Structure 1
Amino acid sequence: MEPITIVTMLGKVFAAGAFSYLGEAKQGFEESDVSAISAVLEALGAVHGVATAKPRTRMTALHTALVLQAFGTAFYEHWAGDERMAPGLQERPWLHRAFRSNEKAAREEEIQTRLRLALGWLLPEFEQRAAAERLSAMHALHPDPMATPIYQALYTAFADGRFEGGEDTALLDMRREGARLQFEGAFQMAYAELLVTGAGRELGRFLLEVDKDRARQLRRRLMEDGSISDRRHVFGTTTPGVPTMPLGFMYVEPDGVWGKTRKPLREFIGDLLGKHPIVIVRGDFGMGKSLTARMLAFGWAQTYMRGVDQPSAELVLPIFIKCARDFQRESFAATVREALRNQAEAIGLSLLRSDDALAMPADTMRVVYIVDGLDEVALSHTEVEQLFRELKGATSDRHRVVVFSRKGALPSEDKLGGIPIIDVQSFRKEDQIGAWLDRWNQISGSEPVTVEGLTNAKLLELGTTPILLFMSAVTWGPTRIEQGDTSQVAIYEHFFQQIAAGKCKHDRDRHPRVADASEKLREKLRDLGNIGKDASLEDAMLWLMSRIAWEHRRREARGEHLDLQDVNHLLRKVLDLRGEPQVQEMIRMGAMLVLQADLRDQNHVILFGHKSFGEFLAACWWADRLRAILQERRESRQRSLERELYGAVLLEEDNRSFEFLMAILNGVQWKEDERKNLGGWAEGCFVDERPDFDEGKHEEERSWRDDQRVPLRHAALAIRCSLHGLEPLKVETPALRSMLGWFWMRQEWVRLGAPWISAEGVSLEGMDLRSADLSGADLRGADLSGTSLSGANLRGANLRGANLIGVDLIGANLRGANLIGANLRGANLSGAYLSRTDLSRADLSGADLGGADLSDAGLSDADLSGADLSGADLSGANLSDAYLRGAVYNPLTRWPESFDPSSRGAIDVDIPGRSTRD
């Protein structure tokens, strides 16, 4: 190759960086360019005595091309806003197109001169020893692109103007404060973007294979990828029906509260991590926890790549752990390895779980483990407590952990050992909602949504939850809003109808693959009787999405993931597609496009973009099956349909499927007579104790603990008690104990949902009823001694004369409950809410009421002897004839006006004590 041709060809790759910057090219160089550079390197190696194998020469050529193009992008970005630095470049078409300038054509020759200066050592006539050294350094494939001979030569040639007699002639103006850091940052970002192209992935795999320090090289690759993660879609991948939403552009930072302090969430996290080894970020669904976790990882990764003022060991290395995908029960170290392996696969690097590159970072490094979505892993309370003990063991002065979770998945605060918990706050109506809408309106391509519009549609309050604000915007339509179709369930329904249609409102046509798949799917479901003849294409796709969501939930219950192979099997089984491979493939592809799955990877784990999406779809599946059950008159067929609801517990803490289901069943889609019929089925299902076993088990292998039907009975009870317009359900002890006993025998905790249940005299002593919903229940005379009811909702319940000896009611809600004459001797009511509760004649001797809210409670004739009232609020309580001998209190205890507890024999311990509510 002629010398001038070599420089021109490499200059073309350099200028391709400008194409990429301007969005006019995806890669910038072609396979022929790589082959040509390889040929040059081989020829020069022969001349200068630096020979190497062809595969390595090809990688050297790839590395050279990527560095050249990234430098070109950074160069363009450097001078793009500076008129003095903008060259004319009119004579060469490729440079003219790249830099889009019609003035100062003389600058073109200067750029050519700098390229010849920088790349001249690649010419055959260059001094042999120096050329040999630089060629050897190139073939060494230094993993840091700024340490390569190409970058260093380009930087020197463009930033140093001395060879032309003065600094003013430099084409990179580094005199401005921060100019070098800005340029290096632009180069690193451009290089990181190129690494996710086909050529970049090929180079990355090779570098990881040959690098002796594989762990360091893998970390660098992951940080390069993480440093551009702000440009990715909020939901991971583009979804039919939703415009592309770059994370960094769309993210509006929520506030957090710790103690009495409120400040931006990421700032809060950073401050607390400087003082505490572990920080917990707690919030309800859709509050922006995961987006904040991703933005934290992006920020640290970007600093890791751009930060040139400190060595890598002093920069934070973020390790992002997505629990739904990465969590391993074996150990936290195994979870970290799985997280690194999954992230490596996402950028085209296939590693074995035993690969040394996946080892835990050294203690000398600064690391923050970002544990996102702890609530998306089904862990018992014991397992969660064990996890936090392990997290504490994994931390040090330089290793920190931040955990993002819903409240219910976390241990009680007294078992967290002082770990600070930041509570994520709703969006502020006055500015954060408006900021998000401004960004949405720039990308939506449809009618702008305004704060005023949300206010008029009575959606502003829902909009304070970010995920609901997003769904309100996606489904925004004047006609629907005018009809008052603005409930939370309605928003989810319209959102998924749009997703199932595979189109955005501003698109002219629906996604063709999704449309074709939906048509075939509708035909199949009609033939099988799963949907009606009038069902739309969207109805068909929603049916399948709902079925997949429930299968996902069933797999989760077994500690497994749902992947594409599982979906293939489900399609064959549910749609009877065993003899129709083409139809199956069409439907599979359409469904996977809707579910954002990677069609290339058969082991791709199916997720749902946001946890509440899967929860809502699971609720839709239950609503569909319940309607089918009611329409079926044959008992055998009913039992067959019921089995389609087996496999997982519907009513779980920190899972909103049941809440969504009841909103559907109590909504306009179900008529009053249908709810009445459903109540009859649910009651019959609950009291029916006949077991149902897996047909694959031989009769002699079956035991009561293998009964598959109990979780359905558990859901049926909750449904019956939560349906509107029905009389309270009357139950007796055996049905409740057989159901709860099944979970106890399997050592599984389950949340009891039985509001307004009528269970007078029921005996449930010693049962685990944590977080149970027994609001408004009639439990007169019930025996609940020794029961765990911590965090339970017993608001307005009738517990008159109930036996509650030694019961655990920590943090329980008993507001307005009737506890007249109840026996609460030795009960733990610390932090409980007992405002306006009637405790007349109740035995509370020896009870722990520390920090309890007893304001305006009725305590006349109550026995409070020996009770702990430290920090309790008894303001406004009726304590006439109450017995307080030996009860202890402290200065934080609040008494009714003019009440003297010491005159009743109560003891002032005169120390601050505790106050759970405070």
Structure 2
Amino acid sequence: MEPITIVTMLGKVFTAGALSYLGEAKQGFDESDVSAISAVLEVLGAVHGVAKAKPRTRMTALHTALVLQAFGTAFYEHWAGDERMAPGLQERSWLHRAFRSNDKAAREEEIQTRLRVALGWLQPEFEQRAAGERLSAMHVLHPDPMATPIYQALYTAFADGRFEGGEDTALLDMRREGARLQFEGAFQMAYAELLVTGAGQELGRFLLEVDKDRARQLRRRLMEDGSISDRRHVFGTTTPGVPMMPLGFMYVEPDGVWGKTRKPLREFIGDLLGKHPIVVVRGDFGMGKSLTARMLALGWAQTYMRGVNQPSAELVLPIFIKCARDFQRESFAATVREALRNQAEAIGLSLLRSDDALAMPPDTMRVVYIVDGLDEVALSHTEVEQLFRELKGATSDRHRVVVFSRKGALPSEDKLGGIPVIDVQPFREEDQVGTWLDRWNRLSTRDPVTVEGLKNAELLALATTPILLFMIAVTWGPTRIEQGETSQVAIYEHFFKQIAAGKCKHDRDRHPRVAEASERLREKLREHGHVGKETSPEDAMLWLMSRIAWEHRRREARGEHLDLQDVNNLLRKVLDLREEPQIQEMIRMGAMLVLQADLRDQNHVILFGHKSFGEFLAARWWADRLRAILQERRESRQRSLERELYGAMLLEAGNRSFEFLLAILNGVQWKEDERKSLGGWAEGCFVDERPDFDEGKHEEERSWRDDQRVPLRYAAFTIRCYLHGLEPLKVETSALRSMLAWFWMRQEWAPLCAPWISAKGVILERADLIGADLSGADLSGADLSRADLSDADLSGANLSGADLRDADLIGANLSGANLSGADLIDAILRRAGLSGADLSGAILSGADLRGVDLSGANLIGADLISADLNGANLSGADLSGALYNALTCWPEFFDPSSRGAIDVDIPGRSAQD
């Protein structure tokens, strides 16, 4: 092959690397190029007396092509950031114009000029001895590509420019501070990317087969691969509906807390590893533990590949151990071997488990073992404690360990023996959540999600959990409802389906411990008829989580806590696992990991990561039981299912369970005919006044105060009032009074939430109806005398002819209400809202109407004798034919010096009247 042809061919490979930086070339070289380079090397070897076997020559050709293309990519990256291409070039030089033009031929010609000098020793006429030495060095296949003859020759030609009279013509400007390191880093990254291609993997396998120091070679290959892992998807692979999310771009670092100190998590880990051989990072599902572990490995791998100020032995070698895949019970050394073997296989290198390349790194090296997902391995208490003893034995001044796990899989802190435990913290609302959303919006093609939008949707507090933030973002469009707001129920359902599976569904990996527990749980629930055949393992685990959440509420109602032993008892009762302790333990451990509980402490109190988690799960339990009740035809069985909802109030101040339940019942999960059936059951449950007492109490010990059924009647009544698509509930006095009386006897407060009910003539004198929602209700002719209706919502209600004597209506909303002919003698209506209300013919004598809003009200013929209207707003009110005593009603009207005197237009009347 002619000399000019040799350089042209190699220049093609180099140019492919340069153009690939701009995406103009997808493939740098093919099999024909490799064969051609091999042929050149064979011919030159014969000429210069350096003959090698064909396999070795082919690998030398591959190595040469990879170095050439990687150098080309790094060259173009270096040049692309400089307008003049190099400081020594005149701005309008022919070289500048050539490289700034679209004339690829001109670029290639200039590159080939440099290559002719760089690769001149490959030409037959080159000095015999020097060419032979260079060829021999090429065949050595040096593990460091920057130490190869090809790289060194290229660097000299492009950076020094000595062949054309000095640095003025250098195409690489290495005089700037850090320029060389920057260029070498770009070369290493380009070379690492080529190594994961088919040709690169072929070369890597060959190097491992022939190199005597196989372990060192393998470590380098793994670091080369690890150094570009920031470009991989957060979930390992793309999934439908989710944009490409590069780890390095999307990762927002959470904070960690140890003791009273809070720091960025990776900084914290680095600081503590300098003082402690083992550091534990503890966090709940979806808090960013695994992403942080991967980012730690990435940072150390990049430093290992790019660091030039220290020898390799002084740089940290990260060994990433993914417990679900790599863990071996026999020893930690076996686990390390498996981790290295699996990582090698992922980049196309098949190694036997007994291969020496998989040996533990020597003590002379600095190593950090990153143990990710310890909770994904089913270990007994003893085995976990033994593992930590073994980890301590594997550490030294130069070998360190970081363990990432959920709390439930770790030994108690007293058993950890001084190992620092960092707790991962939720995102800060403004900066960390905002930063993540900014990055998401740059990748997503959907409507932007903002911190302000999350605030408006009341989701910002949830978004501080990273996995929930992702789920909110990915479901932001699909979960919108007609009002333009995001459905929290849809987001919670989406979240809990995945937490019940142990992993985010977009992650290609699964949590084996939770997955197996969920499968066994499903079998047992099916066996006992708790779930149907179509139930998935995730739904089965979610069923159990919801059951535990309701039990948690029941315990709270008694002033108790739910602990691990209670969960054990619940499992035995629900699943009849007395003869199957192993299955019970498996299910219990899976459930506790899902609930983020501590598996090591039998008295550990079961908590939920966020208050609303428990509220949603309790609501889901109710929805499940209500559907089961509707499907059951036997009254005795229905009664038994109803008892599963006893023990706590569903509606409580500061608790959103009822809100979640209504969203479920009125949502797409329930059809219209199901809601109608539910409405029938709810009405029947409410009017059924038969008490239900604890069977453990003797009959003589029973009291109406002990009726367990009233909270269920109360919930059923409220559910019936809020179900969509049903006629207003018709209420009779007896059922309503017996229900409210139970709360009165127990001196407990329960708001009456009954919008749009029809309760004509109901007798509720002296009733405690503070904060009641009776908006739109028909209470015509009702007896509400002396009732406490302060802060109640009676907007739009029909109270015509109602008896409201001495009633407390302070702060009540009666706007638009019909109070025609109502008796409000001595009623207290301070600060009440009566705008637009119909009070025609109403008796308000002696009523306290201070500060009341009567704007636009109809007071025609009303009796206001002795009523106190100080500070009242009567603008636009019609007082035609009203009876009143002006001095009593409006004393300020006659005292000009009084502040806030009202200006009232009373048709047909005057102040003198």
Indicate the TM-score class for this superposition, using the shorter chain for normalisation: 0.5 to 0.7
2:593 corresponds to which residue? 654
Aligned-residue offset at 1:675: 4.9
- Residues 517-532 of structure 1: pairs in structure 2 closer than 5 A: none
Aligned-residue offset at 1:363: 0.3
Aligned-residue offset at 1:668: 9.0
Note closer, same or farther for the CA distance 1:497–1:375 as it changes in structure 2 (3 Å cut): closer
1:673 corresponds to which residue? 626
**One-letter code aligned to 2:247:** L
Q: Partners of 1:575 and 1:430 in 2: how far apart?
A: 45
Aligned length: 587
Is contact 2:290–2:373 with CA below 8 Å preserved after alignment? yes
Aligned-residue offset at 1:81: 1.3
2:230 corresponds to which residue? 230
2:112 corresponds to which residue? 112
Q: Partners of 2:97 and 2:234 in 1: how far apart?
A: 36
Aligned-residue offset at 1:254: 0.8
- Residues 318-337 of structure 1: pairs in structure 2 closer than 5 A: 318-337=318-337
**One-letter code aligned to 2:258:** W
Aligned-residue offset at 1:27: 3.1
1:8 corresponds to which residue? 8
Q: Deviations over 1:703-752 (max 9, x none)?
A: xxxxxxxxxxxxx9x998999869xxxxxxxxxxxxxxxxxxxxxxxxxx
Is contact 2:283–2:423 with CA below 8 Å preserved after alignment? yes
Aligned-residue offset at 1:256: 1.1
Is contact 2:514–2:591 with CA below 8 Å preserved after alignment? no
**One-letter code aligned to 1:475:** T
Aligned-residue offset at 1:109: 5.3
Q: Partners of 1:103 and 1:28 in 2: how far apart?
A: 19
Q: Partners of 1:621 and 1:153 in 2: how far apart?
A: 68
- Residues 635-650 of structure 1: pairs in structure 2 closer than 5 A: 648-649=586-587
After TM superposition, the structure 1 stretch with the greater mean CA deviation from structure 2, 211-220 or 142-151, is: 142-151
Is contact 1:665–1:675 with CA below 8 Å preserved after alignment? no
Note closer, same or farther for the CA distance 1:407–1:482 as it changes in structure 2 (3 Å cut): farther
Note closer, same or farther for the CA distance 1:161–1:129 as it changes in structure 2 (3 Å cut): same
1:378 corresponds to which residue? 378
Note closer, same or farther for the CA distance 1:202–1:125 as it changes in structure 2 (3 Å cut): same
2:784 corresponds to which residue? none
Aligned-residue offset at 1:430: 1.3
Q: Partners of 1:302 and 1:18 in 2: how far apart?
A: 22
Q: Deviations over 1:544-581 (max 9, x none)?
A: 999x979974657999xxxxxxxxxxxxxx999xxxxx
**Aligned to 2:117, what secondary structure does the other structure show?**
helix
**Aligned to 2:279, what secondary structure does the other structure show?**
strand
- Residues 76-95 of structure 1: pairs in structure 2 closer than 5 A: 76-85=76-85
Runs of 5+ in structure 1 lacking a partner? 499-541, 560-573, 577-613, 626-637, 688-715, 727-756, 762-777, 779-918
**One-letter code aligned to 1:673:** L
Is contact 2:15–2:108 with CA below 8 Å preserved after alignment? no
2:415 corresponds to which residue? 415
Q: Deviations over 1:484-533 (max 9, x none)?
A: 985766226558999xxxxxxxxxxxxxxxxxxxxxxxxxxxxxxxxxxx
**Aligned to 1:141, what secondary structure does the other structure show?**
coil
2:381 is aligned with 1:362 = no
**One-letter code aligned to 2:392:** K
**One-letter code aligned to 1:619:** M
Q: Partners of 1:615 and 1:394 in 2: how far apart?
A: 38
- Residues 698-717 of structure 1: pairs in structure 2 closer than 5 A: none
**Aligned to 2:243, what secondary structure does the other structure show?**
coil
Note closer, same or farther for the CA distance 1:374–1:151 as it changes in structure 2 (3 Å cut): same
Aligned-residue offset at 1:673: 2.9
Q: Partners of 1:25 and 1:128 in 2: how far apart?
A: 36
Note closer, same or farther for the CA distance 1:282–1:131 as it changes in structure 2 (3 Å cut): same
2:303 is aligned with 1:303 = yes
Q: Partners of 1:118 and 1:258 in 2: how far apart?
A: 56
**Aligned to 2:620, what secondary structure does the other structure show?**
coil
Is contact 1:616–1:656 with CA below 8 Å preserved after alignment? no
Q: Partners of 1:222 and 1:305 in 2: how far apart?
A: 10
Is contact 2:497–2:538 with CA below 8 Å preserved after alignment? no
**One-letter code aligned to 1:649:** I
Note closer, same or farther for the CA distance 1:247–1:88 as it changes in structure 2 (3 Å cut): farther
**Aligned to 2:417, what secondary structure does the other structure show?**
coil
Aligned-residue offset at 1:159: 1.3
Q: Deviations over 1:114-139 (max 9, x none)?
A: 21111111122222211111111111
Q: CA RMSD in A?
A: 4.5
Aligned-residue offset at 1:85: 1.5
**Aligned to 1:279, what secondary structure does the other structure show?**
strand
1:913 corresponds to which residue? none
Q: Partners of 2:94 and 2:12 in 1: how far apart?
A: 10
2:686 corresponds to which residue? none
Q: Partners of 2:109 and 2:228 in 1: how far apart?
A: 34
Q: Partners of 2:354 and 2:226 in 1: how far apart?
A: 23
2:529 corresponds to which residue? none
After TM superposition, the structure 1 stretch with the greater mean CA deviation from structure 2, 109-118 or 648-657, is: 648-657
**One-letter code aligned to 1:276:** H
**Aligned to 2:423, what secondary structure does the other structure show?**
strand
Q: Deviations over 1:763-812 (max 9, x none)?
A: xxxxxxxxxxxxxxx9xxxxxxxxxxxxxxxxxxxxxxxxxxxxxxxxxx
Note closer, same or farther for the CA distance 1:300–1:160 as it changes in structure 2 (3 Å cut): same
Q: Partners of 1:216 and 1:272 in 2: how far apart?
A: 28
So what's the TM-score if we normalise by structure 2?
0.58
Is contact 1:189–1:224 with CA below 8 Å preserved after alignment? yes
Is contact 2:480–2:487 with CA below 8 Å preserved after alignment? no
Note closer, same or farther for the CA distance 1:63–1:624 as it changes in structure 2 (3 Å cut): farther
2:244 is aligned with 1:244 = yes
**One-letter code aligned to 1:344:** A
Is contact 2:545–2:595 with CA below 8 Å preserved after alignment? no
Q: Partners of 1:555 and 1:668 in 2: how far apart?
A: 23
**One-letter code aligned to 1:25:** A
Runs of 5+ in structure 2 lacking a partner? 521-531, 548-574, 598-607, 652-692, 698-707, 709-913
1:790 corresponds to which residue? none
Note closer, same or farther for the CA distance 1:668–1:402 as it changes in structure 2 (3 Å cut): closer
2:256 is aligned with 1:260 = no
Q: Partners of 1:545 and 1:177 in 2: how far apart?
A: 43
1:619 is aligned, of 541, 563, 581, to 541
Q: Deviations over 1:345-404 (max 9, x none)?
A: 100011111111111000000000011111111112211111111111111000011111
Note closer, same or farther for the CA distance 1:386–1:118 as it changes in structure 2 (3 Å cut): same
Aligned-residue offset at 1:241: 2.1
**One-letter code aligned to 1:674:** R
Q: Partners of 1:117 and 1:575 in 2: how far apart?
A: 75
Is contact 2:11–2:108 with CA below 8 Å preserved after alignment? no
**One-letter code aligned to 2:302:** Q
Aligned-residue offset at 1:311: 0.3
Aligned-residue offset at 1:108: 6.4
1:698 corresponds to which residue? none
**One-letter code aligned to 2:541:** A
2:289 is aligned with 1:289 = yes
Aligned-residue offset at 1:111: 3.2
1:167 corresponds to which residue? 167
**Aligned to 1:414, what secondary structure does the other structure show?**
coil
Q: Partners of 1:89 and 1:18 in 2: how far apart?
A: 21
Aligned-residue offset at 1:411: 1.1
Note closer, same or farther for the CA distance 1:615–1:545 as it changes in structure 2 (3 Å cut): farther
2:71 corresponds to which residue? 71
Q: Deviations over 1:605-651 (max 9, x none)?
A: xxxxxxxxx995663698999xxxxxxxxxxxx99xxx9x9895165
**Aligned to 1:667, what secondary structure does the other structure show?**
helix
1:152 corresponds to which residue? 152
The alignment-based identity, stated in percent, is: 78
Q: Partners of 1:277 and 1:551 in 2: how far apart?
A: 29
1:748 corresponds to which residue? none
Is contact 1:426–1:465 with CA below 8 Å preserved after alignment? yes
**Aligned to 2:163, what secondary structure does the other structure show?**
helix
Q: Partners of 2:361 and 2:69 in 1: how far apart?
A: 32
Is contact 2:546–2:621 with CA below 8 Å preserved after alignment? no
**Aligned to 2:262, what secondary structure does the other structure show?**
strand
**Aligned to 1:267, what secondary structure does the other structure show?**
helix
Is contact 1:665–1:723 with CA below 8 Å preserved after alignment? no
